[in-house]
Structure 1
Amino acid sequence: MSKAIGIMDSGVGGLTVAKEVSHQLPNETIYYLGDTARCPYGPRPVEEVRQYTWEMAEFLYRQDIKMLIIACNTATAVALEEIKTAFDIPVIGVISPGARSAIKYTKNDTIGILGTVGTIKSKAYEDALKDLRPTTVTYPLACPKFVPLVESGEYNSSMAKKIVAETLYSLKQTNIDTLILGCTHYPLLQPLIEQYLGSGVKVISSGDETAREVSAILAYRDELNSRHEKMKNKYYTTGSPVIFGQVAREWMNDQHMTIQQIKLP
């Protein structure tokens, strides 16, 4: 089936999932929407996040997509189940795949969780991990400075290195052997996070496991794009296409992508 896969996020972070989907499913077309004008979602009230998530989901649904990925952890925690129920296409989030991946890798059942204030407050990852393995010990940590760092394109800077070290200091004192990057913005900071925590901690990004789930669902529904020509990927942003493009072109390794600015209700 030649229809596109829709991927939505509060900003550029979901591109980490888009990149993994493109890598694992190179024949598939992606329509990506980043709500950069209203990013970050993490500190916002739940009802506001719900409203923004629905607006993004409905925009992509109108583009006649065959599947929707809610690549924002905060939005997944707040609205995934209700959107799944309302839409007649598969809708998946990034929390369950991330939790499954962490359980697979941990040796001592002690897992750290990095996320936005909203995601950590929701306890969505803790619940998902406990459902999979009740004996799991978790260390959740909100990282409010990480998303603005990524959105501004400063994720390789010396300032980023300093902020990562300051934020993760308390986590380094624990005995976690696995760390979930519970926000799709955070993989852009992954090299700095790994460097600070050291080789004894396996750092998990949801993108890889989410892409596997996408592949399995589309194969089961016989909707993989194996017989049709791939359409052009589309990128939409509610904020500045220039700022969005600086991160997106580098991360997706596509210097020719076209980015369209849209207005949500």
Structure 2
Amino acid sequence: MTSILQSLLPLCIALFTLAASLVRHYASPRVSIPVKLLATIAFALGFGGVALLPIDLRFMAYVSSGSSDITDEYDGVYESLDDVQMSNADSNIFSESPDEKNETYVPWQVTYWSTFLLAWLVLPITRESLLSGEFTAAARVKNGARKSARGILILLVLAVVAIIALGIYLRSLHVIPVLMALGNTYGLLLVSLLLGYGLVDLPKQLWKKTFPEDELRRARIMAVGADEALFDAVWELQVRSIFFFVLFDDMGK
């Protein structure tokens, strides 16, 4: 276990550095440091899950090949008591749980549960707290936790109703495999969507940027709409400012 953790340490540092550079490049300067740090951790854990998958597959393939070689070597050798004891010892080794043989199990658990807590608790509460209109930090966190708890409760109720409906439809209580299949299907659809943007839209945008004349013409066309939107926003701001000034004057009288 120590060897695999030592080998994964440089990878963790590299992924955290990559996530920090992405957040530093794309985040607004007005974003606070705790929010940037939280976003960096979230990105690093996501990258870690992607990086652990091929490592885990390669490690399990190595373990499986080693186990099959040893099994073939001692197959059919049961003429003496020593050979029987050796085969029993080998079978005890092979009967170990996958968690004991797979050294990437603990990194998987850390990555999975950390991502789970971030996705369902930390990030929603942080988002709702930042969007809250309360004046103190404690009140904002309390308001964000209340809104997040309400959303999670609604999702749990919908999940229970879906499981009951699925059990009635299938006439069986073994609905967990079906839910796992639906979850995997959702993941595959999400991956297809992201790959569509990453493999099609992003290269397309990069290809368009290689033609400065077309980009300039497109920017001029978009500037007209942006100018109109800016004018409307300034006009609405002036109207609302006048309304509030009049309201404050009436309250002062």
TM score, norm. by length of structure 2: 0.24
- Bigger relative contact order, structure 1 or 2 (CA pairs below 8 A, ≥6 apart): 1
Query: Which is higher, the Rg of structure 1 or of structure 2?
Result: 2
Q: Which has the higher helix share?
A: 2
